[in-house]
Structure 1
């Protein structure tokens, strides 16, 4: 261990430099500032100057590339904290007591500019690879299918259904009524027409709601069940009428009359329920 020469006068830096080099050789690395201050009995200013001279004279490869960064080892820090600081000799009024170890040894020297820290530019983020296959465009929509064939097909069905429901209504008690007595006594209505208008019209409307796919889920489910039920009920009514006509029956059995009499009320209830579901359910579109 190198021991500094005690003197009442400040020791020049040139005289301290050989001792600092010897201390650096003994340690195998640059001593810390606190170590220099403790071993050579000098102040912080001279310790920083000696560090700069030692660093300039023999820079280590790894420290030169890192902008003269001085790493304080844990052992040096522990030794400097364990060794008591001895009082400085007289005449050292311009020197200060050891302070905390700076992160960089060259930061105390204001004249020496800091070397710029090398910044690694981030690699540019490559844009997403665009698929070579072009996204398919919207499907080509041809000319819409004309609807007039549906009217042509529905016309004979309408005639047959109308005659069947009106005939069944006549066998079950439906007939001529005067809806405006005292006001228009000559106005007559055959109530049997309410059967084909109510049942078949509701069946077609519910079928349209079910197959549209643009209605709430509950409304679509109700329309499906009620449309299929109305079509099945209409088919059974046609079967009943033709069977009774084929057997020359002039009056329908009581249970057929009961069912036919309830049809206008059932159609009113299903139509009101479907309209309610269409306008009050959340606007969720079913797949």
Structure 2
């Protein structure tokens, strides 16, 4: 809105000339008088003059331009246009849900929604007890094969506590089935569990396959030597079997460290 001027200029204007224009300003709903900042902005006047103009507006009785104007003295097109009233908001035809008072002993029934997915029924775990039946005969065959091969390669009865418990003896051949087969089963579990870092899973995979292959070759070697009536295994079989406890210790320690890493 262009501020009214005197003689078409914007030089300082008297309060009396600004009063009608200030009275005709469009005010927001709920405000009876324009603010001092708006008077300063609309008429390019300073704060003292705007305060004086605002005091005059508040001092005079609230009258409309139609009440003060003489009949046919002012062109109707020049009168300020009253703002159109804002349309009333139509009420929402949807009734609000009725809230029933809660009873202490009332059972709450959940209300299902059309788009709510139904929780899947947890699948029943597969039983593992048949593995015990499968492992018993395999344990007997593997144990006897490794102990027999150990006897052909120099493993036998030793006294691990000389001077402390001289009567205590143990057959060192049992270290072969305990070490090789136990590590193979553990590495297989780590590989298939899916709960270890990728490096540990990759190491467990290849070491489990290697351990099971070595176990199978050990069984084959024992049965071939036993069928041929050999009482002492060849040197290369003895060398390989003698290195198995050390290899199992190294692979077991490495796998244990890899399982605990987070890199």
* TM-score where L is the length of structure 2: 0.64
Q: What is the RMSD of the two structures over their aligned residues, measured on CA atoms? A: 4.2
1:150 aligns with 2:128: no
**Contact 2:12-2:45 within 8 A present in 1 as well:** no
1:165 aligns with 2:135: no
Structure 1: distance between partners of 2:87 and 2:174: 89
Match of 2:184 among 186, 193, 203: 203
Q: Aligned partners of 1:262, 1:118: CA distance in 2, in Å?
A: 99
2:81 matches 1:99: no
Q: TM-score, normalised by structure 1?
A: 0.59
Uncovered stretches (5+) of structure 2, i.e. residues with no partner: 35-42, 64-81, 89-112
Q: 1:252 to 1:107 in 2, by over 3 A?
A: farther
Change (3 A) 1:64 1:236: same
Partner of 1:44: 14
Give yes or no for contact 1:44–1:98 (8 Å, CA) kept in 2. no
Match of 2:57 among 110, 113, 125: 110
CA contact (8 A) 2:200 2:255 kept: yes
Distance 1:154 1:98 in 2: 101
Alpha-carbon distance between aligned partners in 1 of 2:9 and 2:159, rounded to the nearest angstrom: 129
> CA 1:48/1:180 → structure 2, altered by over 3 Å: closer, same or farther?
same
Deviates more, 1:155-164 or 1:242-251: 242-251
Q: 1: CA distance between counterparts of 2:86 and 2:235?
A: 99
Task: Name the structure 1 match of 2:121.
Answer: 139
In structure 2, C-alpha distance between the alignment counterparts of 1:37 and 1:108, rounded to whole Å: 26
User: Which runs of 5 or more residues in structure 1 are unaligned?
Assistant: 1-29, 57-62, 70-96, 122-130
Cα deviation for residue 207 of structure 1 reads 1.3
User: What corresponds to 1:226 in structure 2?
Assistant: 207
Q: Is the 8 A contact 1:43 1:98 kept in 2?
A: no
